[in-house]
Structure 1
């Protein structure tokens, strides 16, 4: 029997509250015609205010959407409405073969996926391109080391002749090292007390980038990722994968002028392994990956290579996400969390934070800012990581009692993402859009 999504899962895909409300009005059979499903996709035509109905098709595995309406929201209300109709009224969306227009879109999407996954037509040419890029990156990294040494030689207090770092960042882009460019740009925004530490980390990364071939394979993969080399999801999933029932610990969106990024954190129910899924959308649009917090998803994940693998690609799913356990996930004390982050940094020196579940902590507001305490140790909440209103909400659901909190712990403190009050469902904490550091 075909497994349908829950209403909660469908609504979690909505980009905003207005879309959820509009989709609810389209969740009945009335405006729909020509609906159908083949188990892998949904399609249907929705009558709007114009003469021609809007054609909507949804590929369920990713999921991915296409609609002929002019809306810039993603997914649009028609896609959400069709999903709600399918999930709530099994007989309203009969089984069958896709309509021609839906089949055309699904076929084109499949062809694009196969093209991305196909090996290069000329392996030798690909090898030469890789070598040329490696040489550019090494040259750019060597130049960056000299620039950093110059700044330190003149003294951090005297930057009158140094100028902004944007020119150096542009040089890193030319060297095909976008990761170095991003970190260089941030130097102009950091307070003076953090400059020397960031110079040291950036110098270490630039040095490693000039000697990637001499590093152990896992550390070399970490350096490549930090420098800006990318690995396609298809390539990651072609290697070993990990199948588990993954608990969705939480998610967070951040946006800039180029795109919206969604981070979704998972933990394997059997392996206990943490994972981070990334999804991207156009500016102001929600990415299409949406997994309800607290739910379990049985799936295969492929992990990006590295000394401390965390980022993963979502592979085969075995059913839709279902409700997770009533009890909160197992967590750590504050002291154990500090030790855990220390072990992670030993593997990856450039790691800003590590996903962590704290158990038995109470949020406390002090003159020095917000903290989480387990009665023995205290950890500060990372400045600007969470809006003040969300922290007061966290305090309200706690009511002064210990609770379980998931977030990212790092050298700047703890950034809460989700809270599990005793006896209640998880509560998501809307985080402020923040930069990497």
Structure 2
């Protein structure tokens, strides 16, 4: 407990949502009230917690039961700072806009809303002269957004590469270490509380794509929506893919990759989320369980890595309360934090223009000249082969493992389609990108 004397009018704080994250926020706001108030320079007063049901037992929370309400719309009009952790698009958007209209700064963890309609929220904050902070929207407790937005504001960020979804990282890590199949590990993740009953947002990549849109928007000073992010989940990753990665000294991770390339009129950005093989020597390969890690590459600062717990009640609440202290300080001392920076307005390139490498597994006839036919297809699409490995599966059939050099994704995809049409090819059994070198 702080010994600093705190004076002045209290900063009224309203909390929207009391689930896993909201409960942790409410607990920390209450139990750490004196320290938080000392850091702000004025008392922080929790004036209400909006919930869907009043009859739910919340006796384990150190919060006055009289503060719980189902009238979120009224609550946001009575606060100086509104914390939104209910998630989703509606009613979160209307509540945030109403809070700003009534003069409240907003702290949110809502990556889906920010990725879909961030510019509307920024415009409303500018009109009202209030703050919009959202550190908790990406990578839980890891401070990543503020370093990009503020600490690297004088630098030129070129690339952001990371693991930003703990559920999929846990699943892929368990598949790698135990050899289990995807469905089995997803069920384990659900039992441990890492995955929701409906894991679609995680395993199909929607959660990571929303976070990638936020990261790219900040890093490249360009508005990027979730719809502009190329998205592939992990549902097609098999135990065979995991083993193939092991065979070439790699591990499979679901990566968010935001890149800025080109110069002048040719400059643009690409934003993508997909599973990829990365060398086991790469720092991201050692990110285990449900942890997150993000690499930022900037012209002057070089390569920076941010690592930590990417989800969970207390870790996310830590990021939320860091934002609450920041915006409350602005309420006490005047001024505002940085708003939207979209001056660069760079074009967002489609996935076909992104440079990557492919690992391709092909079942073929074990005959003379097969390798030459396969190589001809690669050459016709201007794709260079890095390595080829052949395994005989039966007396007359074989499996080819081809790893390419870097090429545009469009050319690589066209190569795969052409390979599948060759008479000597039974099937293209696996295709996965290779990153991180």
Higher relative contact order (CA 8 A, sep 6+): 2
TM-score bracket for this pair, using the shorter chain length: under 0.3
TM-score calculated relative to the size of structure 2 = 0.24
TM-score calculated relative to the size of structure 1 = 0.24
